[in-house]
Structures are given as structure tokens and as C-alpha cells.
Amino acid sequence: MNYCSNKIKFIAVDIDGTITNKSNAIPNSLLANIRIIMGLGIKFIICTARDVDNTLFFLKQYFTIQEISHFGFVTSAGSDVYIVNIVNNKVSLQKIYGFEFDLNIIMSDLRFKTFIEENRHKMIIKKTAILIPFKNKNIAMRNLKKIRNKISISPLKAYLYNTTLVLSLKTINKNRGLRVFMDRYNIKNFEIFRLADQGGENEADYEFLNFKNGFTVGSKNKKEIKKCNYIINNENKILKGVIASNYFFKKIIISLGEKT
């Protein structure tokens, strides 16, 4: 598996489950490797379902203001895109793309009436999506299949995030948000690695990871035909979570070190 390339200039990376462990923290060894990669001239684009305030608050616990100035941000699952400026030694975010849709599109659609009424008590209303948590993934999957039959010709999409069913517009996803950033800076697909913790067709990051340089550190379904890759160690073992991410970053450091 080719984790490295001398043409790579950016790494687009998820936060939760990708660079964070079960304690929602970035391990010190992984943090050190991110810093080494940044020092080698590779820039990071944070691509997350978190909103921008939560994202920035989290990163400030680990990175200096100067380090954060080298990040790009694709937040709220791709609905907001920011570049970073430093003004008076403070982070200033410049929004270069933003999208928000009217949730009544979902709530008032008669095709969803029964489903909405059954699940209204557990719905979490966000700026760009409706979240419906279930007890386990099997129940969530059954509801996903039920709702997908109703949205096949609508502008809506449905997918799973762990045990949560997410309803939003098809125009909102991390890949589209990342594309805004890539178009602005004329970044080609072969110049960017994509790293996230999902990659299955029923999951949030399917479109984001479905590229030759897309790598999953989580739940990829082997039966699905797509381009995103597992991260495999020297013993041919599939790695997951921050262990996979750290292995991935180490391989990049070794590769770039050999070319300098």
C-alpha cells in the first residue's frame, strides 16, 4: 500500500475517531507526528462534523496560534469552509463558503410524516441536519433503509453516524466542502491525502474518502466496491482509529525524510 508520495501537499483529516482516542484526546505521539509533518511542508485541512467554534476550541488545546494558522477548516459536515488569518496574535477565521438549509424541507414533506411523528421525541435539530439517535446500529440501519425508500427522488440524503441516523441535503457533505478549498488553491486530487474513520456507503464519509488517496481508519465494508483504502501494517494487519492514523503519519514522515 502506497501511503506516501512526493506530490502530496495537503492532508484532509477528520477529528473524532481519527486523530482522537476513546477519551476524545489527541495522543502525544500522534500530535508529535503531525507537527513533524507540518515542519516538512505538508499542510492540514480539518474536515469534521463539528461546528467551527467547537473545532477551534478543541485544536487550541493542542496547537499554538502559529500552528493553527497553517490549517484549513471544513466544518459542520461540509457546510462551512474557512481559511485562517492571524490578527494581533489571534486567530481570525475567514469564511469562504457557507450553506444552511430550511429544515422544514424535511419536516413538512408528507413522505416523511409517519417517520417524523414516530421519532420526533428523539430528534436533535442542527443547522444543516436532523439527527435521530437509536439504541444500536442494527436498529439505526433498519430505519435508514426505511427512510431511503422515501428519499430516492428527493434532494435529501440519509446516512449513519455510528448509531445515529442523519437527514440532510445531498448538497452538504465533507467532499463538497473540501472541493471549495481545493478549487480556491488549485489543489489536485493527487496532491491531497484524505483520512477519516468511516468509508462505508451507508456512512458519513463515503464521498469524502472515495478516492485513490482516501484512507479509512474505521468501518469500511469489504463488500463495497470503492476506492478508499484500509491502513495495513507490515504484518498485513488492518489498523483502526488513532493507531492507524499514527502509523499512516509515520509512513509519511519516513517517505518525506527519504526524499529530502
> What is the residue-averaged pLDDT of the chain?
89
For residue 161, the model assigns a pLDDT of 84
pLDDT > 90: percent of the chain: 60
DSSP for residue 189: G
The confidence band for 260, taking pLDDT boundaries of 50, 70 and 90, is very low
The average pLDDT across 145-149 equals 85
Contacts of 71 (CB under 8 A, 6+ apart): 43, 44, 45, 46, 59, 63, 84
Edge-to-edge, what's the strand order for the sheet holding 129-133? Answer: 124-125, 129-133, 164-169, 156-161
The average pLDDT across 250-260 equals 77
pLDDT tens-digit readout, 48-65: 989 999 999 999 999 999
CA distances to 99, 176, 200, 225 from 169, rounded to whole Å, are 10, 12, 18, 24
On whether the CB atoms of residues 169 and 157 are closer than 8 A, the answer is yes
pLDDT tens-digit readout, 97-129: 988 777 777 777 777 888 888 898 999 988 778
The average pLDDT across 192-217 equals 91
pLDDT tens-digit readout, 211-242: 999 999 988 776 676 788 999 998 999 999 99
pLDDT > 70: percent of the chain: 95
Neighbours of 118 (CB within 10 A): 12
For residue 122, the model assigns a pLDDT of 92
For residue 1, the model assigns a pLDDT of 59
> Would the pTM count as exceeding 0.85?
yes
Q: Would the CA dihedral through 80, 177, 150, 228 be positive or negative?
A: negative
Q: Which residue has the higher pLDDT, 107 or 198?
A: 198
For residue 153, the model assigns a pLDDT of 66
On whether the CB atoms of residues 203 and 217 are closer than 8 A, the answer is no
The yes-or-no verdict on residue 4 having pLDDT over 70 is no
In the CATH hierarchy, which top-level class contains the domain 10-99+172-259? Answer: alpha beta
On whether the CB atoms of residues 115 and 156 are closer than 8 A, the answer is no
Task: Give me the residue spans of the domains in the chain.
Answer: 10-99+172-259, 104-169
Give the CA dihedral 102, 128, 211, 43, nearest 10 degrees: 130
Task: Spell out where 88-213 has E strands.
Answer: 90-98, 124-125, 129-133, 156-161, 164-169, 192-198
Quote the cell numbers at residue 129.
441536519
Q: What DSSP element (H or E) covers 126?
A: none
